[in-house]
């Protein structure tokens, strides 16, 4: 199982150059880095990034994040993964562009 983080192009570039990030502004404000499961990420994109272009989706292994990853209730009581610490480039398994198509964001075909 993988978990996913959507970043804007400038946020992804900063993570690549600095090696870690406290996250997007919403992450910094909330005190943790927001992630989604494969079942949640499309709704996350539609709800929080509907008008955004130049996005990337990053995949991470939740087991590799250790005790800093907590599963907490959020939208509709569903458990979402939250990282209480910096997001590290070394933890990113892969990243891919998240373009916008006619029906919204177009996720990679091989995402579970």
What pLDDT is stored for residue 51 in this prediction? 87
The residue range of the domain holding 15 is 3-99
pLDDT along the chain (112 residues), means of 10: 97 98 96 96 94 95 97 91 98 96 89 70
What pLDDT is stored for residue 112 in this prediction? 59
End-to-end CA distance of the chain: 8
CA 85, 69, 48, 95 torsion-angle sign: positive
Say which CATH number the domain at 48 has.
3.20.170.20
Q: Is residue 110 part of a domain?
A: no
Q: Is residue 49 part of a domain?
A: yes
Q: How many domains does the chain have?
A: 1
User: For residue 52, with 0-12 CB atoms within 10 Å meaning exposed, 13-18 middle and 19 or more buried, which class applies?
Assistant: middle
pTM (two decimals): 0.94
Q: Is residue 87 part of a domain?
A: yes
Say how far apart CA 15 and CA 7 lie, in whole Å: 10
């Amino acid at each position: 199982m993988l978990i996913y983080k959507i970043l804007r192009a400038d946020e992804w570039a900063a993570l690549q150059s600095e090696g870690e990030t406290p996250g997007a502004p919403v992450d910094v404000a909330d005190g943790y880095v927001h992630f989604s499961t494969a079942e949640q990420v499309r709704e996350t994109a539609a709800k929080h990034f509907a008008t955004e272009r130049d996005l990337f989706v990053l995949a991470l292994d939740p087991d590799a994040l250790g005790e800093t990853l907590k599963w907490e209730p959020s939208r509709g009581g569903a458990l979402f993964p939250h990282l209480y610490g910096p997001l590290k480039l070394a933890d990113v398994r892969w990243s891919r562009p998240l373009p916008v198509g006619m029906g919204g964001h177009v996720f990679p075909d091989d995402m579970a």
